[in-house]
Structure 1
């Protein structure tokens, strides 16, 4: 795929199934593919109903919107890139209980929080943000026992140092990336 080719991302399940998302082509905007989201939400099918979700690096908003489509109670999207924000607002138009904050996720997570049920961590790979994000989630009360944390990372970047009380529930990989689903115990 050429770097400037517009990609079609669509919601793959729930009441918003087949909704096409607007995608801003950007160096760091690398949406989770439809196929990988299908696997992820199969993993989450027993946990998504009535959950409160946090997407720390929203991009297209696909993970948060898919969550709402499949029965999540609320989805909060954090996105730093001001150029992506208008696309996000288009993508959530007429979608209930989904909220956007234009912020640096690391700065936002530095404050004390109320825990979320499901947290999505899919930052731009080259920026090496995973370890800092995991530290802030743990330190500032954004997770609780039974919180689920999804991590998508490149095999090339970002070695992971996972807290001892996070249990690996699911794992998948392809040539370039790894996908983890943890539960805090």
Structure 2
């Protein structure tokens, strides 16, 4: 304990904080996704996801997507709900992976014919091991929402730019705006941007 700093004597809560986000559109519209009480876990707010999928055009039928820092799974499950052909959720935390599996089972994704793959591991490493995109073949969308204090943004963008096909999209959440000048060396260009509180949401395109 640091000297000179008083510590509250209030007892900790007997039950963990409960929180949930909801799927906004598609097959599982209004379904709630539980959010674990873990430090640094910031599920993309409903209104930001609604704006993002307005940018993307609502219908993702046939798309191949990777949520490289899945966390609560809000982005990946939203994409699957809106018709994505393949969605891969990558998460390093074992407890979160277990929760993602419970959500997938609860949504009955397999019975609905929705291909959702869960991978435990590092998101950047998963993208690095993905086949490089070809002119007519590659991922259509990669979600990047890494921990804000981990300095993973540039390596994550580099890894994602390698696997999305030309003209495809990368969604990035970051604590500051990424400019066209910063993105150009990575072969990316800004397409849409919004600021919501402390979060900058970007939709980028591979040039």
Same fold (TM over 0.5): yes
Q: Are 2:130 and 1:109 aligned?
A: no
Structure 1: segments with no counterpart, 5+ residues: none
1:168 to partner: Cα distance: 1.4
Is this contact kept in 1: 2:48–2:196, CA < 8 A?
A: no
Q: For the structure 1 residues 182 and 57, does the alpha-carbon distance in structure 2 shift closer, same or farther, using more than 3 Å as the test? A: same
| Secondary structure of 2:164 counterpart | coil
Structure 2: segments with no counterpart, 5+ residues: 1-15, 133-137
Q: TM-score scaled by structure 1?
A: 0.88
Q: Deviations over 1:108-143 (max 9, x none)?
A: 2232525210110011111121111112233xx312
State the distance in 2 between where 1:65 and 1:17 align.
10
Is this contact kept in 2: 1:75–1:98, CA < 8 A?
A: yes
Q: TM-score scaled by structure 2?
A: 0.79
Q: Are 2:190 and 1:154 aligned?
A: no
Q: Are 2:36 and 1:24 aligned?
A: yes
State the distance in 1 between where 2:184 and 2:160 align.
11
Q: Which has the larger radius of gyration?
A: 2
1:46 to partner: Cα distance: 5.8
User: Paired residues, what number?
Assistant: 179
1:174 to partner: Cα distance: 2.5
1:166 to partner: Cα distance: 1.7
Is this contact kept in 2: 1:60–1:91, CA < 8 A?
A: no
Q: Are 2:206 and 1:184 aligned?
A: yes
Q: Deviations over 1:33-76 (max 9, x none)?
A: 11111111111116622110110000011111100111111110
